[in-house]
Amino acid sequence: MTKDFKTVAESQVTISELMLPSHSNFNGKIHGGYVLSLLDQIAFACASKHSGAYCVTASVDTVDFLKPIEIGELVTMKASVNFVGSSSMQIGIRVEAENIQTGAVKHCNSSYFTMVAKDEKGQSVKVPGLVLKSRDDIRRFAKSIKRYDNKRVRLKEFTETDFVSEEHLHIVETYNVKIEA
Mean per-residue pLDDT pooled into runs of 10, the chain (181 residues):
87 98 94 97 98 97 96 98 97 98 97 97 96 96 93 86 68 76 67
Task: Show me where the domains of the chain are located.
Answer: 5-131
**pLDDT value for 165:** 65
User: Class assignment of domain 5-131?
Assistant: alpha beta
**pLDDT value for 21:** 96
Rounded Cα–Cα distance for residues 127 and 125 (Å): 6
CB distance 71 to 101 below 8 Å: no
